């Protein structure tokens, strides 16, 4: 019997599979999804307590209150903000809005997996620009541009490498591309960054009609379960995206918690401090274990394991999982010898190291 076949460009596509483990217990230490180490802001949790009042009502199509709160927190223009059901939704609708079948979209070698996924789903051609030392490279991106290029997707800092392109290079990239190419600047981890030579892309997106900056509430703000992200771009881009975005894709709970989280600067500062402290701890500990890793400006680390003995990445992932510690295997990114580990809370970090040492000693 015939089966209703999906669009032909979906046939070879793999479903995105996070590593959340198989166990049903809540005791798992989950360092596999770059989530907030300290949970969520208590103010956001409090805000959700009054949520049940209007369950029968649709959320606003665009919450002015949340847009105002974002605009105030990040000193940016209200009319250039778009809200989304996680920044993942915005990545998808960007590809669907701007890519025709014959268009090409560039993404980087070890860039965020949702980029090639969204490009393929839109039915366009993804083109890979090679990294240099696990870092996106402006010249390699520029070398891939041709008359069919319509978009460039770039996470800065990048997931899963944790590396970044400095502000000057980002400016050079933008100056070197034609104005009909849309630069998607995904700054999901920007709030963790303290480096002076980094820019989150808000300036580029605020001043140019061919740049969109993407942000999320899933990382620093710790609201991953509510699915809330936002973009910052010219009104022309926003208007077109709103034609494609689900009319009510951002729910009321996310709006309420998002506003409260933005105002809780104490929680945000505490999270950044925690991250910096434990990132340097991880660096020292990994060095003393002779494990190679990428210096990261995010809340996670990409660690390289030996490939020619039993202490390889797959065995490490399995061993840690057997101890209830989840990390992210990187085969799907073409990095079979690496694991990505998110910074957790103190107890989780210490447990991870303890088990990692046992694995390497045996």
Ligand X SMILES: Cc1ncc(COP(=O)(O)O)c(C=O)c1O
- Interface positions with ligand X (CB under 6 A): 34, 86-88, 112, 155, 159, 186, 188, 216, 218, 224, 229
β-pair type (328-329, 81-84) = unpaired
Query: Which position's Cβ is nearest ligand X?
Result: 86
Least separation, in Å, of the C-beta of 19 and ligand X? 12
Least separation, in Å, of the C-beta of 3 and ligand X? 31
Q: Nearer to ligand X by C-beta: 87 or 163?
A: 87
Q: Which of 82, 37, 95 is nearest to 268 (CA)?
A: 37
Are 40 and 256 in contact, with CB atoms under 8 Å apart?
no
> Greatest CA separation found in the chain?
62
Query: Sign of torsion, CA 268 269 273 276?
Result: positive
Q: Which of 120, 125, 88 is nearest to 104 (CA)?
A: 125
Q: Which of 178, 135, 171, 128 is nearest to 153 (CA)?
A: 128
Least separation, in Å, of the C-beta of 20 and ligand X? 13
Q: Nearer to ligand X by C-beta: 122 or 155?
A: 155
Least separation, in Å, of the C-beta of 153 and ligand X? 10
Least separation, in Å, of the C-beta of 35 and ligand X? 9
Least separation, in Å, of the C-beta of 137 and ligand X? 17
Q: Nearer to ligand X by C-beta: 217 or 305?
A: 217
Q: Nearer to ligand X by C-beta: 90 or 325?
A: 90
Q: Which of 251, 273, 339 is nearest to 301 (CA)?
A: 339
Give strand pairing partners of 162. none
Q: Nearer to ligand X by C-beta: 229 or 303?
A: 229
Burial of residue 290 (CB within 10 Å: 0-12, 13-18, 19+) is exposed
Number of H helices, E strands in the chain: 12, 13
What contacts 138, CB < 8 A, 6 or more positions away?
A: 165, 169, 170, 172, 173, 176
Q: Nearer to ligand X by C-beta: 112 or 352?
A: 112
Are 327 and 29 in contact, with CB atoms under 8 Å apart?
no
User: Rounded to whole angstroms, what are the CA distances from 83 to 61, 232, 346?
Assistant: 9, 9, 33
CA pair distance 234, 224, nearest whole angstrom: 26
Q: Nearer to ligand X by C-beta: 129 or 355?
A: 129
Q: Nearer to ligand X by C-beta: 114 or 210?
A: 114
Least separation, in Å, of the C-beta of 178 and ligand X? 25
Least separation, in Å, of the C-beta of 223 and ligand X? 9
């Amino acid at each position: 019997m015939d089966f209703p076949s999906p669009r032909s460009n979906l046939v070879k596509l793999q479903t995105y599979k996070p590593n959340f483990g198989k166990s049903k217990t809540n005791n798992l230490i989950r360092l596999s999804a770059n989530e907030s180490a300290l949970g969520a802001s208590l103010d956001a949790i409090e805000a959700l307590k009054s949520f049940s009042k209007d369950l029968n009502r649709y959320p606003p199509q665009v919450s002015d209150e949340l847009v105002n709160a974002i605009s105030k927190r990040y000193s940016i223009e209200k009319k250039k903000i778009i809200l989304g059901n996680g920044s993942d939704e915005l990545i998808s609708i960007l590809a669907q809005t701007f890519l025709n079948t014959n268009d090409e979209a560039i993404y980087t070698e070890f860039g965020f997996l949702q980029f090639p996924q969204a490009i393929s789903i839109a039915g366009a051609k993804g083109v890979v620009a090679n990294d240099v030392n696990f870092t996106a490279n402006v010249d390699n991106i520029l070398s891939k541009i041709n008359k069919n290029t319509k978009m460039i997707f770039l996470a800065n800092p990048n997931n899963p490498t944790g590396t970044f392109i400095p502000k000057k290079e980002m400016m050079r990239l933008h100056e070197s591309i034609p104005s009909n190419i849309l630069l998607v600047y995904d700054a999901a981890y920007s709030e963790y960054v303290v480096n002076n030579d980094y820019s989150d892309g808000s300036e580029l997106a605020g001043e140019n009609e061919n740049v969109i900056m993407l942000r999320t509430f899933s990382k620093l703000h710790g609201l991953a379960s509510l699915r809330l992200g936002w973009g910052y771009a010219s009104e022309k881009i926003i208007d077109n995206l709103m034609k494609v975005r689900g009319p009510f894709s951002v729910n009321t709970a996310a709006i309420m918690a998002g506003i409260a989280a933005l105002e809780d600067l104490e929680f945000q500062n505490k999270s950044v401090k925690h991250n910096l402290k434990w990132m340097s701890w991880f660096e020292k500990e990994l060095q003393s274990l002779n494990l190679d890793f990428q210096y990261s400006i995010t809340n996670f680390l990409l660690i390289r394991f030996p490939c020619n003995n039993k202490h390889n990445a797959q065995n490490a992932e399995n061993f840690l999982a057997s101890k209830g510690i989840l990390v992210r295997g990187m085969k799907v990114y073409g990095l079979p010898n690496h694991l990505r580990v998110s910074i957790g809370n103190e107890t989780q970090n210490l447990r991870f190291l303890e088990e990692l040492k046992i694995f390497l000693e045996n």
